[in-house]
C-alpha cells in the first residue's frame, strides 16, 4: 500500500484494524499534515487503559479534534432520520427515535423543537433581523436546502444524544466552519476552553458525534485525573 488512497480503502474495508490507520498516520506526519498526529493520539487514547494521562497530549488531542474532528473509519454518516411532515407554514416535522417523539416546527426564521411534548429552546433566531449575506433566503422562510441542513443536524444530535438546546446552524450568526466531506459542525467550543488558549470558539467546532467524547476528554484535563 503505497498511496493514501489505497490506505483509505484498506481502512474502509477493515475499520477495526488499527494497522492501516497508523500507516496512514505515518504518511501524513511525513508530509507535515497534523492529521497524522491526530490519528496517533486518538489511537493511543482509545487503546490505553484509562486513556491518555499526559495533560499535554490530552490538550493536543482536544485541539486537533476541534479542528479536524475525531478520526472515524468505516461507513459514512447516515442520512437524516425519516422525519415526516412538511407542508405549508408553519412547517412541521415529526419523528420517533429511541423511544422518544421529536417535533420540529418553524415559521419564517424561528425554529422550535420539542421532545415528548417538552419544549426545547433551540436558540435559532435572529435578534437583528435577516442578515444581508444569507444566500439561501427566500421571502424570509426556510428554503428546501436549509430544511435539509436543519433536519440533518437535528438527526445527528438525536443519534448522538447531544444537547439540542446548544445546537448552531450554518446560516445563523455567528456560524461555525464547514468542511466538505466532514460532518456538520454544530457545537461551539466552550469559552472556558477557548479563551485561555487564545483561540476563537467560533473558528473551530464540534460535530454531534464528537460532542460527548470531546467533553469527557476536557473534563479529564480539567480534573487532572488520569483516565478519568
Note the pTM of the prediction, 2 decimals. Answer: 0.85
pLDDT in tens, 69-100: 898 765 666 789 999 987 677 788 999 999 99
What is the Cα gyration radius of the chain?
Answer: 19
Task: Give the residue with greater pLDDT, 31 vs 77.
Answer: 31
Contact predicate 157/113, CB 8 Å? no
Task: Give the residue with greater pLDDT, 64 vs 120.
Answer: 64
Residue 136 confidence (pLDDT): 38
Residue 85 gets the label, from left (phi > 0), alpha (psi -120 to 50) or beta, of: left
CA nearest neighbour of 126 among 146, 105, 143, 140? 140
Task: Give the residue with greater pLDDT, 201 vs 140.
Answer: 201
Phi and psi torsions of 59, nearest 5° = -65, -40
Which region among 124-133, 165-174, 189-198, 204-213 has the lowest average model confidence (pLDDT)? Answer: 124-133
CA nearest neighbour of 41 among 23, 20, 57? 57
Task: Give the residue with greater pLDDT, 138 vs 7.
Answer: 7
Amino acid at each position: 500500500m503505497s498511496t493514501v488512497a489505497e490506505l483509505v480503502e484498506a481502512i474502509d474495508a477493515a475499520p477495526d484494524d488499527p494497522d492501516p490507520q497508523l500507516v496512514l498516520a505515518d504518511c501524513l506526519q511525513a508530509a507535515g499534515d497534523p492529521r497524522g498526529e491526530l490519528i496517533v493520539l486518538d489511537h493511543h487514547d482509545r487503546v490505553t487503559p484509562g486513556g491518555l494521562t499526559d495533560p499535554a497530549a490530552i490538550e493536543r488531542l482536544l485541539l486537533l479534534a476541534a479542528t479536524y474532528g475525531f478520526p472515524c473509519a468505516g461507513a459514512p454518516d447516515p442520512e437524516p432520520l425519516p422525519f415526516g411532515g412538511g407542508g405549508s407554514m408553519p412547517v412541521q416535522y415529526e419523528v420517533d427515535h429511541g423511544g422518544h417523539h421529536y417535533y420540529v416546527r418553524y415559521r419564517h426564521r424561528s425554529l422550535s423543537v420539542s421532545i415528548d411534548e417538552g419544549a426545547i429552546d433551540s436558540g435559532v433566531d435572529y435578534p437583528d433581523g435577516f442578515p444581508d449575506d444569507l444566500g439561501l433566503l427566500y421571502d424570509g422562510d426556510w428554503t428546501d436546502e436549509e430544511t435539509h441542513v436543519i433536519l440533518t443536524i437535528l438527526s445527528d444530535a438525536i443519534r448522538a444524544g447531544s444537547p439540542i438546546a446548544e445546537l448552531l446552524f450554518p446560516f445563523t450568526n455567528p456560524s461555525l466552519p464547514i468542511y466538505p466531506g466532514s460532518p456538520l459542525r454544530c457545537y461551539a467550543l466552550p469559552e472556558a476552553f477557548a479563551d485561555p488558549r487564545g483561540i476563537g470558539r467560533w473558528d473551530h467546532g464540534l460535530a454531534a458525534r464528537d460532542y460527548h467524547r470531546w467533553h469527557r476528554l476536557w473534563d479529564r484535563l480539567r480534573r487532572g485525573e488520569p483516565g478519568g
